Structure 1
Amino acid sequence: MTDQHSSSLLSEPCHYARRRSVAVSIGTTPLGADYPVRVQSMATTSTLDTEASVAQAKRIIGAGAEYLRYTAQDKRVALSLGPIHAALRAEGITTPLVADIHFNPTAADTALEYVEKVRVNPGNYVDTKGVKEWTEEIFASMHARVEERFGVFVDRAKELGRAIRIGVNHGSLSERMVMLYGDTPEGMVQSCLEYLDVCRAHDFHDIVISMKSSNTLVMTAAVRLLVQRLDELGYPAYPLHLGVTEAGEGEDGRIKSAVGIGSLLADGIGDTIRVSLSEEPECEIPVARALVDYISARAELPAPSYSLSWAEYRTLARDARRESRAIGRLVGGANLPIVLSEQGAEAFAEQRPDVLRSGERLLLPGGTPIVGVRVYELEAGTELDATLLEQIQQDVEALVLLRSTGANPVAEWRWGFAQLRRAGVEAPIILCRHYDVAELDAFRLYAAADCGSILLDGWANGLCLSADGIAPDELVKTQLSILQATRLRMSKTEFISCPGCGRTLYNLQNTIAEIKAATSHLKGLKIGIMGCIVNGPGEMADADYGYVGAAPGKIDLYKGQECIQKGVPQAQAVEHLIKLIKDGGDWKDPE
């Protein structure tokens, strides 16, 4: 029997329809149900510094944050949440505060007395590392420890009227869960369910859940699997907090966040979001708000005339990108996704050979197509002509430009794609859309959210996007960044950097700038830049190299998941990082 608030994604139509979650009380700002998608951020000041924390809170809340989170590493830090909370309330600021807990249940107990919500990480709340030999008895004893220790915490939260976020991080799954389920979305879901079941056993339901990763594929897969699993179990549709961890800063941080968060919001999944940027926390709020507003506007659109279920779409989309017919070494099949332009393709071929290779002048209808390619331009949101579909299906030289012109490009592209697949068309498909925006940041967010949804679904062989007033080179850079954020094509160095918090041990923004200046020419390399060792090594797990704050003035350097150098003086750390990259054979001198 399924709970009345739970709804299966597979039974929903394949266009925007917000998941109906249960309402959760969080101070004066409830979450879920019919409440709007909330935006939030996290303070970067030391929680011990009340004056600085209150001043920063005013800036963040003034920017529009509806929840504000503080780190609480231990009991002493957790106690400091009391004066911060009191000072804000004394000034009439009622924004709910959230404590962020890792490793220390006692800190969670203390913080619960002062703030409206506490986030606990199932990966390190009570689990310990270093077990040399796993047995059924050890597994059972650790599970019993979770039930006992977390159960006490849940009872107190219920008594005080607090909310709890079960915040699972891909980079900090417990060894126990990794042993049982692997370092996978399934492991993340099971880690959540263990703690969720304790809450339910204590009849506690003011619960928010998050499934986060720095990898957009893992993050979105984990959230979708969790929604499906809650439905299968007949559990209430608990509100979901969305975020891509360690997204970075600037253009990359915004695009990566929009790909992960936006693709879920586009399917009605998500009740509160945080865009994690390695910048001042108040900078996160307008980005998050713009993303929410862009997607939420689709709720006002009339339902489309066509009908496409999730069940059919998921079946059609499975490995569709690779199953497409390859056109030589250019596009389709196992070729990397490409970026096309409707604005001077021949010039791009000369200026950007990595985008349109010289001699492969891939132009749109009205131009001169390259030899061996015929371009078909189709309107995605319409009923496609059966005769034309048959012609495309039989044409081994066909390349399809699937154009969206309506207000919901995700739904339109999916509908166009479904019709092509139903007709047996195997031609490569390029997502095509003109955005009626002149602001570069808006274009980046909108395009990343829309195209990210489709690319993460597993299909589309390239992008062809345009916008008024935006320079052609910026259009190309944005599209390449979207492909990189979806892990489909690496065209530049990827920096996996945390947004910073009260645990950060050095000037994060200055350090990111210094490392970028030294290494941004290393195309395809992934470099993690983490403020502390709490989540740093885990969240940069798929980075090739890592720079992690270990202590004041000291940096640990990683190659992969192995710490190679400990306690490097910060003044020399970038120089040592470059040497580590050179020793690893991954360095190339700038051109």
Structure 2
Amino acid sequence: MMDVDAKQVLKGIYCNSLTQYSRFNSREVNIGGVKMGGAQPIRVQSMTTAFTMDTEASVAQSIRMIDAGCEYVRITAPSMKEAQNLAEIKKGLAEKGYHTPLVADIHFTPNAAELAAKIVEKVRVNPGNYADKKKFEEIDYTPEAYQKELERIRKKFAPLVEICKAHGTAMRIGTNHGSLSDRIMSWYGDTPKGMVESAMEFIRICRDMEYHDLVISMKSSNTQVMVQAYRLLVQTMVAEGMNYPLHLGVTEAGDGEDGRIKSAVGIGTLLEDGLGDTIRVSLTEEPEFEIPVAQALAKRYEERPSVPESEVENPDFELPPNFSPFEYNKRASAELNTFIGGHQVPRVILDLSKENLKDPQILAPAGYNYSPILDKYNMGDQSIDFAYLADELPSFTFPGNLKQLYNYNTWLKLQNKTNCHPLYTLEQYIQATEKDKALNLVRVYHDDLEGDLFASLPFDKTLVFVLETTKTHGMADQRAFFFKLLNAGIDTPVIIKRSYRFDETESLENKELKTQLYGATDLGALLLDGLGDGIWLDAPQVSTKFRVSTSFGILQATRSRISKTEYISCPSCGRTLFDLQETTQMIRSKTDHLKGIKIGIMGCIVNGPGEMADADYGYVGTGPGKITLYRSKEVVKKNVSSENALNELIEIIKQDGNWVEREI
């Protein structure tokens, strides 16, 4: 157990420091000889998608995962026969010289968990499914009745704890937002607190039985909910003298770019605050492809010096009034010319100063397609709002709704300043004799807040800050800037700028991956807390198109600005009842023009109905060749043939008036 800093808990602090990188001191847990938590490195893991009863396929896939760097291999065991076959998979791996710890994934079957705990190094149980049956009923409990339910859970769960103690088996208590029990939903509501209490009920039983080989997770497909739940979990554990290690993950993140960005937003936000001991990036792809993404996220923090908790500065750092890390509230900022700040969506800035400014086609990757025949631009759903041109002047006419940014001295010389706005240094802005009547953007750093220049800054309703950082722990540096604005009551809109430069010897693929993951982490962490009125991803080593898609992907993943269809797609496992990757691509090909619609694609019922709460429509496998279709949590059609299921889903969307024809 750990000493509790009650003052920190009372202030709502959920990590060692909000201003410095300081890794949270979790309890060390031994999982088959590969330790996790404490001073151990952040471990990476994944989950097989092969049918668990297919020993050969499971062994072969596990080896591919391990060779890619997977440190724990998770395998589903939905029934006794799969749990028993874990012994054969383990034997097959050992015969080939592989001894990586195996984790059995259990949901509804305590007897399978008890058997698996005697075979593998770790079992994962889902509190929402392990001792409760979900019927989506609201139950009115008295405190006495609720206490009896806890006693029932203890009786059902205690045998597994005893087996784990006897065999030295670790356990993950893994709450899923989408599978909270009716009991939890009725008592706590569909909230991060409900997620935390769902796990804490099981954790307290383990503590009372003096079993501490625990790892805890709070997964959701909604990054805001996921981050808030983990923060609240840590605060709750600390208040009760606990510090069990954390397994981080965004469930049903999806595939490709969307899945990587969404995972980095959720996982990276927590890693920035020193939370997290193992990570799993859930992608709708082959499991070995998850590992390089997880490794890239983890390695960033292995290379970042951690300040010991005892040496953390500003221990009395206060959260701003009306700011809570456990709920989303957008920072109130002034709305300038109905374009930026206030209730406007976050704006996207793109540096085009190094492009060929003689050809209007350079704007196509930025969302503006020029037609020479019609002499006009067509806007896409992902169209940038500002083009930074520095000191370069285009030789063609820009679209009327794309604002141009110039360095101040160049802006002064423009003959026609319509739709053109200046970017100043702080000193330039204070000394400027001519300013724009609409928008004036000023580059600032956190350290500027304490200087004489900032103190003499003339505030008005044209001012926008472009917040930069040069600090290694840049997210916290920029967050501290926002907190000081909040404490001072300054409502000037802020564009968050992050700059990334990588070793030129690295491959383009690595540069793109790091840009994607680092940008999603650093920008996403602030956006999740409602901080920021725009983003500027400065990464000249990757293409314009990549920077644009990444920027809008970050806004989508944080639910700050919706520009495309969102797919809540599980990563597949041995329970999956259809080819998830193929099905996801099939559904995407017919629906990816439905901006703002969220479609859940689930391989089985385990995370089906519950996860539909975060989706507008759902496509869930319920048997071989059979699909059940959902409208949110409501079942609309059961056991539809897989050949007709997509057409039936489209028909439901049409009936709701949410279908639009694809533009040609």
Partner residue, 1:365? 407
C-alpha distance 133-286 of structure 1, shift in aligned 2 (>3 A): closer
In the alignment, structure 1 residue 245 sits paired with structure 2 residue 311: no
Q: TM-score scaled to structure 1, two decimals?
A: 0.94
User: Which residues in structure 2 correspond to 1:422-501 (within 5 Å)?
Assistant: 422-437=487-502, 439-501=511-573
Asked if the contact 1:14/1:309 (under 8 Å) is kept, the reply is no
Distance 1:240 1:280 in 2: 24
Asked if the contact 2:440/2:464 (under 8 Å) is kept, the reply is yes
Asked if the contact 1:381/1:404 (under 8 Å) is kept, the reply is no
In structure 1, stretches of 5+ residues that fail to align are: none
In the alignment, structure 1 residue 374 sits paired with structure 2 residue 381: no
Q: TM-score scaled to structure 2, two decimals?
A: 0.84
User: Which residues in structure 2 correspond to 1:166-315 (within 5 Å)?
Assistant: 166-235=173-242, 237-299=243-305, 311-313=317-319, 315=321
Q: Deviations over 1:381-418 (max 9, x none)?
A: 555424424525x2221000001233222122123334
In the alignment, structure 1 residue 541 sits paired with structure 2 residue 613: yes
Alpha-carbon distance, 1:474 to partner: 1.9
C-alpha distance 108-364 of structure 1, shift in aligned 2 (>3 A): farther
User: Which residues in structure 2 correspond to 1:379-418 (within 5 Å)?
Assistant: 379-380=445-446, 384-392=450-458, 394-418=459-483
Partner residue, 1:3? 3
Asked if the contact 2:114/2:159 (under 8 Å) is kept, the reply is no
Q: Deviations over 1:60-95 (max 9, x none)?
A: 001000001011111111111011112212322111
Segment of structure 1 superposing worse, 561-570 or 132-141: 132-141
RMSD: 2.5
Distance 2:583 2:18 in 1: 46
C-alpha distance 404-301 of structure 1, shift in aligned 2 (>3 A): farther
Distance 2:486 2:5 in 1: 33
Tell me which of 304, 329, 343 is aligned to 1:334: 343
Asked if the contact 1:377/1:403 (under 8 Å) is kept, the reply is yes
Asked if the contact 1:167/1:209 (under 8 Å) is kept, the reply is yes
Distance 2:301 2:251 in 1: 21
For 2:337, give the aligned amino acid.
G
Distance 1:238 1:225 in 2: 14
Greater Rg by CA = 2
Partner residue, 1:532? 604
Alpha-carbon distance, 1:468 to partner: 2.1
Segment of structure 1 superposing worse, 369-378 or 352-361: 352-361
Distance 2:466 2:312 in 1: 20
For 1:56, give the aligned amino acid.
Q
Asked if the contact 2:21/2:306 (under 8 Å) is kept, the reply is no
SS of the aligned residue for 1:540 comes to: helix
Distance 2:146 2:463 in 1: 56
- Alignment coverage as a number of residue pairs: 588
Tell me which of 329, 332, 336 is aligned to 1:323: 332
Asked if the contact 2:443/2:465 (under 8 Å) is kept, the reply is yes
In the alignment, structure 1 residue 550 sits paired with structure 2 residue 615: no
For 1:503, give the aligned amino acid.
R
For 2:591, give the aligned amino acid.
T
Distance 2:438 2:312 in 1: 34
In the alignment, structure 1 residue 154 sits paired with structure 2 residue 161: yes
C-alpha distance 400-302 of structure 1, shift in aligned 2 (>3 A): farther
SS of the aligned residue for 2:36 comes to: coil
Identity %: 46
Segment of structure 1 superposing worse, 551-560 or 437-446: 437-446
Asked if the contact 1:154/1:204 (under 8 Å) is kept, the reply is yes
Asked if the contact 1:199/1:205 (under 8 Å) is kept, the reply is yes
Partner residue, 1:81? 86
Asked if the contact 2:498/2:536 (under 8 Å) is kept, the reply is yes
Asked if the contact 1:390/1:423 (under 8 Å) is kept, the reply is no
C-alpha distance 422-441 of structure 1, shift in aligned 2 (>3 A): same
SS of the aligned residue for 2:461 comes to: coil
Partner residue, 2:414? none
C-alpha distance 185-314 of structure 1, shift in aligned 2 (>3 A): farther
User: Which residues in structure 2 correspond to 1:107-146 (within 5 Å)?
Assistant: 107-130=112-135, 134-136=140-142, 138-146=145-153
Distance 1:117 1:20 in 2: 22
